[in-house]
Structure 1
Amino acid sequence: MILWRAGFRYLLRHPLQICFAVVGVALGVAVVVAIDLANSSADKAFRLSAEALTGRTTHTLVGGPNGVDENIYLKLRQEWGWRQSAPVIEGHGTIPAQRGITLKLVGVDPLSEGEFRSYSPRVGGSFDINRFLTKRGAGLMTKKTADNLGLRLDEELQVAVMGRQQTIHLVGFLEPRDQSTARALENLVIVDISSAQELFGVKRMLSRVDLIVPAGQPGQNELNRLRALLPSGVDILPANSRANTMAQMTRAFQINLRALSLLALVVGMFLIYNTMTFSVLQRRPLFGSLRTLGVTKSQIFLMVVTEAIAVGAAGTVLGVFLGVVLANGLLSIVTRTINDLYFLLNVQNLSVTPVSLLKGVLLGLGATSAAALIPAYEAAKTSPRTVLIRSTIETRQRVLLPWGTGIGVGLIILSIAGLFIPSKSISLSFLSMFVLITGYALLTPGLFVFLLRRMQPLAQSLFGILGKMAIRNLLGGLSRTGVATSALVIAVAATIGVGLMIQSFRTTVDQWLRSYLQADIYVTTISSNFGPGRAPIPEQVITDLESTLGVNNITRARHLSMETSQGPSDLFVAEIPKKSFESYWFKDGDPEEIYQEFTLRNAVIISEPYAYHHDLSRGDSIIIPTDSGKRSFQIAGVFSDYGSDRGRITINRPLYRKYWQDNQVDALGLYLDENQNADQLVNQLRMNFEGEQQLIFYSNRGLREASLATFDRTFAVTSVLRMLAILVAFVGVLNALMAMQIERSRELAVLRASGLTPQQLWRLVISETSLVGIAAGLLALPLGVIQALVLILVINQRSFGWSMQISLDAGILLQAIFLAFIAALLAGIFPAWRMSRTPPAAAMRYE
């Protein structure tokens, strides 16, 4: 009992150090919990939406670029006897009057839906089936969605669909069976098939046909029979294949976020280690006395570990609550990034799951316990005879320094070997990088000593005798300053690594856009999500653009998605002039030879991410279903493309027209006369076509700026994580400096009594913190650059399939040194203020 009372009294007598440790753990746990909650909320929203739209569907019948012909569905039910089938049209529209809120629009046949989806309108339900089928633009939504939109029954809603204003008339409410289904149906509007065809401007076409197929061999026999009846270009897929593909798109993105969030927790572990080490060092006399009174080593060990767990538990609980708060802010950033890069996703609420909270608790307590093991071992193994001798601690630290340096070098070599293992595993890459960070952290105290000794002449010339004292104090307290410096080095190095990676990526994307975008003006349409592509541009609009004064030439393009031998793939159909083709960055091969194959043979070119994810290279073949059956296309070349980490196939438009009965266009490139101003013409075209269709006009420069703005939004969450890691390190340095000043309070009091003024004490403490900051900034440079190289050359390649140019921005390196200096300088203000105001007589009292 006396042992535990002694430990509890120590915690009460040092509230600041304990509070700093609690805050450090809390911040680390909060980042991990926030990222996990944001990711899981996005996953849950997507999964619930997919499940609600899928219902009991087992398979889907999909078509070519324009969807499935309605006649196939009629044959399916009337001639081939597939009664368990339901037509579906999917897309989305926006509400301009309400800040562009996006609605999911789903067209169904209520007479076929009964066996498929539980929320679907049913004959004899709570609405008038005849009104739903006959009233133009009739729609259903949940009561909550209607309330959020300020919409009442029988009122109309103006929605922009495929660039045109459309009217939806609310004739009834959907009644979800449970809360999960209600969340999945938020911002969803159900309309009749004919209304959906009118909304999306398609005639006798469907997005897909849902099927319910019996399980087992009988069902498989039925599928084989149906496949034999289907025309070319129409296929049957498992109902969950599309959802799995879309979920897979975000996997690498979410793994990267989770790994970066763990970095803050790693820095927090250093903080706990430093706090517990200090508590052990300060109580060595107490431990010696307890040992002489009969307390065993195991009891001392258990006490220190229990104290650490208590501190960690407090920090973990606080961190979980902070994580929930932080997740609410990060959720919108993560969702926006998914919408920018992958697919449309509506996430209305944060989903706080016990699993995510449990992860935070286990990580917080586990990290705290692991960080406390070494200090607890030190406390337990110390003999009563040497416990009162403070110098033995630093002597042992100097003896262990070469061992730590050697282990650090070994871990760095091990991590480099792990990075060179031929694998596509993202987890292995991050594990190797964390081993690298650990190795460098063990290496840091030795490098810190080396650097301080080289800085001693400079410190003495700048601060005189106080500078020399500062260097000696830091070297003499290496057991405390070494760990604090390591934590700051790791946090600043992470800032350098991620900063250089983002800057290299941005520079590469900017150069790629300047090379890739050759037209003067780009025209496209709002994506409707109907079928696989964007809304088509009417032929009359193209004719009017061709006759516009100042337009010299127009190239046509089409964005599609279809099943290939490699699974769901994005297909880009384009007319590419030879001059524009020469601007492509091909990974290998002669561009002239690739161009000849692309334009004259059954050949396509594929982007680098597509080639990486599917293990394809120049000379391989891809089988693509066409309107005239499956065809094999040779890969003429692999080019760099940063528009999508999923990758895409690019096909020459004349070759596409040969195999597909599809003449639609959803993007145009306008080449202007030499003296024509692109920005002026864009403004003119926007006014000319304002009432025709919601077309999007970009000048070359405007499209490049919009693309880079999307890029910057993508990495907003990464910047938040970088700053949180720095904040944790700042708390760690502050805690270490506070510990140093408290332990040295009697020494400083003697100096004060000997004539050291409060101003000189300020200069001494601030010079110490400044030296820690400068040294940490310099030591962070090598690790930061190595981390950047790992992120660029290994992790980004394995995650997304991109290769990028390395840009070592001197500004980022200088900012990192300045950041470390400012963090350490600010951390020293409070300890300096406190010690300068403490009377020497009070500080010299031992008991």
Structure 2
Amino acid sequence: MIDFSQQYQVSNYPLWRMAWRRIRRRPFQYILFILGVAIGVAMMVSIDLANSSAQRAFALSTNAVTGRTTHRITSAIPNSLDEDVYRLVRQELGFSPSAPVVEGYVLSPDLGAQPLRLVGIDPFAEPPFRSYFGTDFTTGQESLTALLTQPNGIIIAAAIAQQYGLNLGETITLDISGTQQQAPIVGILQPADETTASALNGIIFTDIASAQEMFGLVGNLSHIDLIVNDLAVLAEIETVLPPGVQIETAAAQQNAIQQMTAAFELNLSALSLLALVVGMFLIYNTVTFSVVQRRRMFGILRCVGVTGSQLFALIIGESIVLSLVGALLGLGLGVLLGRGTVRLITQTINDFYFVVNVQDVAIPPFTLIKGVIIGIGAAIAASLVPALEAARTTPTSTLQRSTLESRVQRMIPWLWAAWGALTIVGVFLLWVRANLVITFAGLFCVLIGATLLTPPLTAWLMRVITPISSRLAGVLGRMAPRDIVRSLSRTSVAIAALMTAVSVVVGVSIMIGSFRQTVVQWLDQTLQADVYISPPTITANRVTGTLAPEIVAEIRSWPGVAEVVTSNSTDIIVQDLERMVHLVAVDGDVSRGQRPYAWKRDPAADPWTQLAAGEGIVISEALLLKENLSLPPDPLTLETAVGPRTFPVLAVFYDYSSDQGAIFIDNDLYANLWQDEAIGSMGLFVEDGEAPDKLVTALQTHYQGRNDLLIRSNQALRQGSLEIFDRTFAITAALRLLAIIVAFIGVLSALMSLQLERTREWGVLRATGMTIRQLWALTLIETGLMGGTAGLIAMPVGYVLAWILIYVINVRSFGWTLQMQLNPAYFLQAFAVAIVAALLAGVYPALRLGQMVIATAVRSE
């Protein structure tokens, strides 16, 4: 027997021509496909670009200062390395590849009030480390001489000078912890390439003596740079270092700092993938409808010799081509979004982690390639099921329109089983304390599992709602639920897409609302002082400067001040954890016993009394959870100025100011062990009958023009803290909005495709007497029911997502325990969003129906 299917196989060329003609005849449907891919890719690319730009800016700035340094000598307290150590290394050991550095961050109203790194260097020790001070000066030796002889002389990059219209010899103002200092420009660097230009954009150089005076660090250094390639030489240097001084690799600190933002960036990246997941539903919808609309044509093609594999290749090929267009469009949109996103992310990094100055958006090729690959891969994955459906269907069944719907009905028990399997896998991945990627994989398994329940739940809800809708809307109320169930293979996917987006809105809204309410309660308990005073800071949650002793003494004796609580903070090395932790030295409890604790060694005692007695330290919950410390915690060994010291942990307190962890220690003990008596901030308690606002005004008036101090009332500090909180989650709101837009497009795609498929049905209804107004009503009832179904299913799913975000992901990412706050408004708003989005998506199809020509519609098939 002759195998005609093999011998006379139809050529692929006419098939592709048919596909191209269809795209030209029905571009709107395929535009939606392209938009689904484009928006998903754009969100992912924009977040990647913003994250990589911030990290690149920090790395370039750090590398510009590090140069060819291999190791650094640092002290237990930042910026407190005695300069005698440099003399010891340079003169007594005779180790010449060493260079002293003093650095810190400043603001300048003449340079856009952006944080800039001021680096003090010794020009004579620089050549082996940094090449900027060789032939790169615009005025050569004259600039070098002026740098050494002119007080506060600075050198800036040519790009900064050009951006702000500055010339050699002009003077700019530097704001250093509230102190205004005049700095003449004595040199302008001409970078050799674009990379160096980007690195120098956020850096100002000065002589090391000038930097010591400007930062108030006379006699001290930030660190000493070394170039050491011989381990024996390194060991020799270590033997002469005094207690509290150590050697670390140049890359160690940079890597440690960049690791701070790893969880933050991963959370953003995971959220950005949400739009791509929702977009996959849109792609699945579009491809499924394309297959359904061409089932009759596919049946005819199969009868004349086209194989199932050819149809499969045709559908996948269409998806690849369209997704490539969508991915390329998404790349361009992602770059545009990235320019706005980078500002939000940079602000959050500056608020909570470290100072970074991003001048431009870096566009690494890997990000673009990844965006294209993931976009095309998601489209192929979403197209596989409908493509296989078309390939496996026999020629006779393709001519029967009921085949697909009957198959969906038979699949409902399997969907329940798949939901159970995915949920079990998701719960297991969430239970395993692995890395955050595994945790997010568990979250996505739970979410995708929930979408599989959409078809059976939709069918059940339509049966429940039919009697009610029938009484409310008569015949149309019976037809709408029946039509949704009759087209379940198409409507359920649109409902699933909208449900996914809305459930994430519910989950994230509950998480953010719970977070905000927890922070409000924490601020109410912790901030009990009436007035807070500190020097101006570069970062929002950390005091980097100190208050002059004379100011502290003057405020202590200020009329109307009953009590003063002071604190000072620094970063120290915890040997047990092998990382830097924020240490806060305090001489009193600013919360007056109201501070909440997660654990206390002695439940009956006040940890603050024990702390004041120097019996130990108090650590934050974030440090406990992020480092997986045991409860009760073991004693911690801290690196002090006089060597390592071990302290018992007295209590664990709740703290939402930083996810890096903090340690409280008594100020007297700190001053003795770290040899630092500086005061960074003050909390004032006013006498009874005194108005805090009046005291704030009096202090601001007194110090205006003399010292630039940050003087705020209790209420102002709380308000400022909540503004930082809201600013942090601004990007989350934008991502949620984009996810809703993608879901909206999904519903619109479903309705448009259903309208095309049911053209003859609508024509028959119009021919038998249904008015345009009734067609509008039927369309909007259907879309309203679809939106309502998505909203109803999204409520429990959103609650589950919120629980996972609050009690699993948030704890593992940031070490914060939040109290879930269930506000009915979150659910009502999400339900309203689902219905409104669906109704708006139904407007255009309804308008198209109103313009339908009955005769054409009836004979369309």
**TM-score normalised according to structure 2 size:** 0.95
Which of 245, 255, 280 is equivalent to 1:244?
255
Which of 407, 411, 414 is equivalent to 1:403?
414
Question: Quick check: 1:270–1:484 contact (8 Å CA) kept in 2?
Answer: yes
Give the counterpart letter for 1:186 in structure 2: N
Offset of 1:528 from its aligned partner? Answer: 6.8
Offset of 1:745 from its aligned partner? Answer: 1.0
The aligned residue for residue 453 of structure 1 is: 463
1:426-465 equivalent positions in 2, closer than 5 A: 426-465=436-475
The aligned residue for residue 743 of structure 1 is: 757
Give the counterpart letter for 1:573 in structure 2: A
Q: Which SS does the other structure have where 1:645 is aligned?
A: coil
Question: Quick check: 2:600–2:650 contact (8 Å CA) kept in 1?
Answer: no
The aligned residue for residue 363 of structure 1 is: 374
Does the C-alpha gap of structure 1 residues 412 and 654 become closer, same or farther in structure 2, counting only changes over 3 Å? same
Give the counterpart letter for 1:347 in structure 2: V
Offset of 1:829 from its aligned partner? Answer: 0.1
Q: Deviations over 1:377-423 (max 9, x none)?
A: 111111112222112221111111221122112211221122112x1
The aligned residue for residue 603 of structure 1 is: 616
Structure 1 residue 626 corresponds to structure 2 residue 636: no
Which of 64, 81, 85 is equivalent to 1:72?
85
The aligned residue for residue 146 of structure 2 is: 131
Which of 237, 247, 264 is equivalent to 1:226?
237
Q: Deviations over 1:794-819 (max 9, x none)?
A: 11111111111111111111100000
- Paired residues, number: 840
Which of 303, 309, 313 is equivalent to 2:324?
313
Does the C-alpha gap of structure 1 residues 554 and 424 become closer, same or farther in structure 2, counting only changes over 3 Å? farther
Give the counterpart letter for 1:188 in structure 2: I
The aligned residue for residue 807 of structure 1 is: 821
Offset of 1:98 from its aligned partner? Answer: 5.3
Q: Which SS does the other structure have where 2:599 is aligned?
A: coil
Question: Quick check: 2:119–2:211 contact (8 Å CA) kept in 1?
Answer: yes
The aligned residue for residue 102 of structure 1 is: 115
Q: Which SS does the other structure have where 1:625 is aligned?
A: strand
Q: Which runs of 5+ in 1 are unaligned?
A: none
Which of 187, 193, 198 is equivalent to 1:178?
193
Structure 1 residue 6 corresponds to structure 2 residue 18: yes
Which of 687, 706, 715 is equivalent to 2:720?
706
Question: Quick check: 1:460–1:468 contact (8 Å CA) kept in 2?
Answer: yes
Offset of 1:607 from its aligned partner? Answer: 0.6
Q: Deviations over 1:622-673 (max 9, x none)?
A: 2122233221111111111111010111101122133232211011010111
The aligned residue for residue 490 of structure 2 is: 480
Which of 287, 302, 310 is equivalent to 2:298?
287
The aligned residue for residue 572 of structure 2 is: 562
Structure 1 residue 61 corresponds to structure 2 residue 73: yes
Which of 535, 538, 542 is equivalent to 2:548?
538
The aligned residue for residue 271 of structure 1 is: 282
Offset of 1:578 from its aligned partner? Answer: 8.9
Q: In the aligned structure 1, how far is the partner of 2:189 from the partner of 2:816?
A: 44
Which of 708, 717, 721 is equivalent to 1:694?
708
Which of 84, 97, 110 is equivalent to 1:84?
97
Q: In the aligned structure 1, how far is the partner of 2:713 from the partner of 2:39?
A: 44
Question: Quick check: 1:110–1:123 contact (8 Å CA) kept in 2?
Answer: no
Q: Deviations over 1:291-337 (max 9, x none)?
A: 11011111111111111112211211111111111111111111111
Q: Which SS does the other structure have where 1:119 is aligned?
A: helix
Q: In the aligned structure 2, how far is the partner of 1:136 from the partner of 1:492?
A: 61
Does the C-alpha gap of structure 1 residues 628 and 316 become closer, same or farther in structure 2, counting only changes over 3 Å? closer
Q: Deviations over 1:188-228 (max 9, x none)?
A: 110001111121122111111111112xxxx2222222222
Q: Which runs of 5+ in 2 are unaligned?
A: 1-12
Give the counterpart letter for 1:803 in structure 2: T
Q: In the aligned structure 1, how far is the partner of 2:274 from the partner of 2:404?
A: 29
Question: Quick check: 2:586–2:667 contact (8 Å CA) kept in 1?
Answer: yes
Q: Which SS does the other structure have where 2:131 is aligned?
A: coil
Question: Quick check: 2:589–2:608 contact (8 Å CA) kept in 1?
Answer: no
Does the C-alpha gap of structure 1 residues 470 and 533 become closer, same or farther in structure 2, counting only changes over 3 Å? closer
Q: Deviations over 1:329-382 (max 9, x none)?
A: 111111111111111100010111111111110011000011111101111111
Structure 1 residue 45 corresponds to structure 2 residue 57: yes
Structure 1 residue 169 corresponds to structure 2 residue 184: yes
Offset of 1:556 from its aligned partner? Answer: 1.1
Instruction: Please report the RMSD computed on the Cα atoms of aligned residues, expressed in angstroms.
Output: 1.7
The aligned residue for residue 817 of structure 1 is: 831
Q: Which SS does the other structure have where 1:691 is aligned?
A: coil
Give the counterpart letter for 2:57 in structure 1: A
The aligned residue for residue 763 of structure 1 is: 777
Q: Which SS does the other structure have where 1:236 is aligned?
A: strand
Offset of 1:93 from its aligned partner? Answer: 1.4
The aligned residue for residue 849 of structure 2 is: 835
Which of 518, 530, 540 is equivalent to 1:520?
530
Give the counterpart letter for 2:156 in structure 1: M
Offset of 1:821 from its aligned partner? Answer: 0.5
Q: In the aligned structure 1, how far is the partner of 2:183 from the partner of 2:422?
A: 63
Q: Which SS does the other structure have where 2:129 is aligned?
A: coil
Offset of 1:579 from its aligned partner? Answer: 6.3
Question: Quick check: 1:409–1:440 contact (8 Å CA) kept in 2?
Answer: no
Q: In the aligned structure 2, how far is the partner of 1:650 from the partner of 1:92?
A: 25
Give the counterpart letter for 1:454 in structure 2: V
Q: In the aligned structure 1, how far is the partner of 2:585 from the partner of 2:756?
A: 70
Structure 1 residue 615 corresponds to structure 2 residue 628: yes
Q: Which SS does the other structure have where 1:89 is aligned?
A: strand
The aligned residue for residue 5 of structure 2 is: none
Identity %: 42
Q: Which SS does the other structure have where 2:592 is aligned?
A: helix
Q: Deviations over 1:729-766 (max 9, x none)?
A: 00000000111111111101101011111111000000
Offset of 1:596 from its aligned partner? Answer: 4.5
Does the C-alpha gap of structure 1 residues 798 and 413 become closer, same or farther in structure 2, counting only changes over 3 Å? same
Which of 732, 750, 759 is equivalent to 2:746?
732
Q: In the aligned structure 1, how far is the partner of 2:595 from the partner of 2:296?
A: 73
Q: In the aligned structure 2, how far is the partner of 1:122 from the partner of 1:563?
A: 39
